């Protein structure tokens, strides 16, 4: 089976941002920079470079799931 996905007329999210009087613009910008940094770290060092604290528990599955491709071992 094959699935084809295409993107047309993709626009920067900058054009769709709306702020109101109660939005803290600096906080929104800080959060964007943080998320961008996290993506860059994961891209450079792998998916397991940054995980939530709960993923360090014994029963957590995030580290194992990051090594799977389509639910199968990636080895």
30-75 pLDDT, tens digit each: 999 999 999 999 999 988 889 888 888 888 888 888 888 887 887 6
What pLDDT, on the 0 to 100 scale, is given for residue 75?
67
CA distance 47 to 62: 9
What pLDDT, on the 0 to 100 scale, is given for residue 27?
95
- Stretch 15-29: mean pLDDT, rounded? 89
What 3-state DSSP class applies to 73? strand
Beta partners for 72? 69
Per domain, the residue ranges of the chain are 13-73
What pLDDT, on the 0 to 100 scale, is given for residue 67?
81
This prediction's pTM: 0.66
């Amino acid at each position: 089976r094959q699935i084809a996905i295409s993107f047309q007329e993709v626009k920067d999210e900058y054009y769709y941002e709306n702020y109101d009087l109660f939005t803290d613009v600096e906080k929104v910008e800080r959060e964007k920079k943080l998320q961008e940094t996290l993506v860059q770290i994961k891209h450079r060092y792998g998916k397991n470079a940054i995980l939530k604290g709960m993923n360090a528990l014994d029963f957590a599955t995030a580290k194992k799931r990051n090594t799977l491709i389509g639910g199968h071992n990636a080895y």
